[in-house]
Amino acid sequence: MSRAALPGLPLPASLPRAVMLPRWWGGLAAVAMGLVVIAAIYRPGILAPWRTGWMLEGRIGPDPVQYWLGWTYFSRAPWSWPPGLNPDWGMEIGSSIFYSDSIPLLAFAFKALRPLVEVSQYWGLWIYACGALQAFMAWRILGLFTADPLARLAGAALFLVQPLLLNRLGGHFALGGQFLLLIALYLCLTQASTARRVAAWAALVGASSLIHAYLLPMVAGLWATDALARALRADRRPAWLAAEALLVPGLGLAGLWLAGFFVLGDGLGGTWGGFGQMQLDLLAPFDPSVWGRFLPDMPHGDHLEAQDSYLGLGVLLLLAAGLLAFVARPGLRPGWPLLAGLGVFLALALTHRVSIGGWVVEVVALPDSLVSMADALRASVRFFWPVAYAAMIGAIAALVHALGGRRAGLVLAGLLAVQLVDLRPGVTRLHGFFGPAPATAALRLADPFWQKATARYERIRLAPTGMQARHWEEVAVLAATRGLPTDAVYLARLDPARVDALNASTKARLAYGRHEPGSLYVLGDEAALAAARRGMDPARDLLIKADGLWVLAPGWHSPGWQRPLVAVQAAAPVPEAEWDRW
C-alpha cells in the first residue's frame, strides 16, 4: 500500500536502494520519538505491569480505578459465552468488560496468558504503544507525499504532540488509540490489491470494536467512504464489494458481541446528557484552556469535554499555511466520498444544537425518537478527531506540493517548535498527574472491621447503588482486593431499570430483615440506614460505622457463624408489590 489514491500529488515513484534504507530508519525514529515523548510526559513508572498505585491513588480521577476494577474482576472470572461477561462486578445490574472501558482486546489476551503470567495492569504498556503507533502511522501517511526525512518526522511529531491525543492518554486510556484513525485514513489514501484491502479493513474494524465504542464508528465510517469510492470506480469488482459489505461490518458486530456490548438492554444514552449536550463548540479548536500559553482563553460550553479540542498554536498555523499553499498552488484533489464522510463526522461533532462560545442554537429540530437513537453518541465532540487529523494531513500535503519536501520540512520543524512551546503549560500539568507513586495504593477502608467482615461474607452490597453511587470507589476497590463480588460500580453505561429494581429490592430486604445470606451491606444514604435499623435484629445483626461508612453485617452475632465455603441459597425475593412501602 505504497501508492496514494489521490491524484495530483507529488509522490516518489521509485527510489534508489541507497535512499530506501533511511526510510526504514525513519520509521524506527518515529517509533522512538513516540516512546520518548510518552516517557517524558507520563513517566516510565507506569510501564511495570505490577505497579497499580499510579492508577488507584486518585490523582488522575476515577476512570483509571474503573478500568482496573473491570480488569481485576474479569481476569478472575471463568471464561463464559460470550467471553466478555464480567458477572462479579455489578451482579444483577449486569456487566461486561466492554462497559468498564478496559480495552477488551488486551483483556482477552492477558486473561488467556494468565496461567503463564499474571498482569495487574496493562495500561502503561498501552499508553506507550499509543504514542509509538501514533507517530509511526503519521510518518507512514506523510511518506505518501514526500520522502524528505525532516518533513516526515517533524510532521509526525505534530500528530503526537497533540492535545486531542495527550488529553485522552491522561485518563481516558482506551480513547488514546487514535492511531486507529490514522490507519483508517492511510487506507483511504492508498491503493492495494482487493484481497489485501478487504483483509486490512476487516482487521481494523474488528480490532476497533474490541478497543472502544467511540473509535469504532469513526473507523467504520472511514471504511464506508473508502468502499463507496471504490464502488464508483470504473474498475470496481462487485463480487468483492458485496463480500466486503458483509465481512467488515460482520467482524465489527462479532467483536462487540464477544466483548459483551449486547448484554445491556437499555441505558445506552448514559447518565450525563444525550446527543447534542456534549457537542463541539465552534471556538473549541482555538481555545487553549489549560493547554496553551499564547492564545487567550475563549468562552466555551459547560459540558465535561468542552475544552478538550484545542489543536495547539503550531497546528493552527499549519492549517492556515496549508490553506494558503493550496490557494497558491492547487493540486490536492481528495475524492468526494472521503470529504463527504468527514463532513458527516463534523456534523455529528457539532450536532443539531450548534454551540458558539457556549451560546447554543438549535439549528435543526430533530424528532425525539431520532435523538434518543443518537444518545449512545452523547460525547459527539469526539467525532472532530478524524476531521482534525485529515485536515492536518491535507495541510502538510499542500505545503509539500507548494514548497517541495525540503523546504516544507523546515517549515514543519518551525511549527513543531511553536507547538512545543505553546503546549508547555498543558504538558506540565499533565506531567504532574503522573508523578511518582507507590507500587500499590493503600486501601481507603483501613478499619480492622473490614478485614474481619470481608473474611466472613461472600459479597458486598452498596445501598443504594448506581452510576458512581456514594462510596462506590472505596467499596469496589475493597471488594476487588478481598476477592468479593459487589454491586458498587462505575461503568460506561448502566441499564436504569435494572438499577431501580435492584435498589428497590435491596431496600425492601433491609426494611423487612430478609437479608441475603452472605451479603454485607454498606449504607449510602439516610433512607437505607433507616431501613436497615427498622429490619435488623440487634441480638443477631451488627450496625456499625467504620471509616465514616455505615455498615450492616447480618448475622454477625450468631454463634459460630462464618463465611460459607460454598455458595448459600439466596433468600426469597421480596414481592415487588411491597417495594414502594419502603
- What is the pTM (predicted TM-score) of this model? 0.92
Separation of CA 551 from chain center: 34
Q: What backbone torsions phi and psi does residue 253 show, to the nearest 5 degrees?
A: -65, -40
pLDDT of residue 264: 85
Q: What is the pLDDT along the chain (582 residues), one digit of tens a residue?
A: 444 444 444 444 333 343 344 567 999 999 999 999 999 999 999 999 999 999 999 899 999 999 999 999 999 999 999 999 999 999 999 789 999 999 999 999 999 999 999 999 999 999 999 999 999 999 999 999 999 999 999 999 999 999 999 999 999 999 999 999 999 999 999 988 889 999 999 999 999 999 999 999 999 999 999 999 999 988 888 889 999 999 999 999 999 999 999 998 776 765 656 899 999 999 999 999 999 999 999 999 888 899 999 999 999 999 999 999 999 998 777 789 999 999 999 999 999 999 999 999 999 988 988 888 888 888 999 999 999 999 999 999 999 999 999 999 999 999 999 999 999 999 999 999 998 999 999 999 999 999 999 999 999 999 999 999 999 999 999 999 999 999 999 999 899 999 999 999 999 999 999 999 999 999 999 999 999 999 999 999 999 999 999 999 999 998 655 544 333 333 344 454 443 443
Give the three-class secondary structure for 462: strand
- The confidence score (pLDDT) of residue 394 equals 96
Q: What is the DSSP letter of 451?
A: H
Residue count of the chain, please give it: 582
What is the signed CA dihedral for 28, 34, 36, 39, rounded to 10 degrees?
Answer: -140
Q: Tell me the C-alpha distance between 337 and 340, whole Å.
A: 5
Closest of 500, 502, 444 to residue 472, by C-alpha:
444
Ordered by start, the domain boundaries in the chain are: 24-48+125-434, 448-553
Q: Count of CB atoms within 10 A of residue 37's CB? A: 22
Q: How far apart are CA 241 and CA 224, in angstroms?
A: 11
Instruction: Find out whether 473 and 61 touch, Cβ atoms under 8 Å.
Output: no
What pLDDT was estimated at residue 192? 84
CB-facing half-sphere around the CA of 578: CA atoms within 13 A: 12
The interaxial angle of helices 149-160 and 384-403, nearest 10 deg, is 160
- The Cα angle at residue 64 between residues 176 and 388, in degrees rounded to 5: 20
What contacts 16, CB < 8 A, 6 or more positions away? Answer: none
Pick from 167, 160, 163: nearest CA to 138: 160
Let me know if 196 is exposed, middle or buried by CB neighbors in 10 A (0-12, 13-18, 19+). exposed
- Give residue 569's pLDDT: 35
Please name the residue ranges forming H helices in 113-193: 123-142, 149-160, 163-169, 179-189
What is the pLDDT, as a whole number, of residue 374? 86
Contact 495, 94 (CB under 8 A): yes
Q: Which of 500, 519, 501 is nearest to 459 (CA)?
A: 519
Are residues 252 and 216 in contact, defined by beta-carbon separation less than 8 angstroms?
A: yes
* Whole-angstrom distance, CA of residue 169 vs CA of residue 134: 12
- 80-93 in b/e form (b: 16+ CB < 10 A) is eebbbbbbbbbbeb
Here the cell at position 438 is: 507507590
Three-state DSSP at 463 gives: strand
Show the beta-strand stretches assigned E in 429-512.
Answer: 459-463
Which regions of 451-555 does DSSP assign to beta strands (E)?
459-463, 519-523, 542-546, 549-553
Name the nearest CA neighbour of 167 among 130, 139, 138, 207: 130
Cell triple for 331: 493540486
d(CA 287, CA 297): 6
What is the spatial distance between Cα 46 and Cα 43, in angstroms, rounded to a whole number?
7
The strand pairing partners of 523, in sequence order, are 463, 550
Rg (CA), the chain: 27
Measuring CA to CA, which residue among 394, 287, 301, 387 is closest to residue 347? Answer: 387
The DSSP secondary-structure symbol of 300 reads -
pLDDT at 16: 38
Residue 489's closest CA among 60, 89, 87? Answer: 89
Q: Do the Cβ atoms of 357 and 299 come closer than 8 Å? A: yes
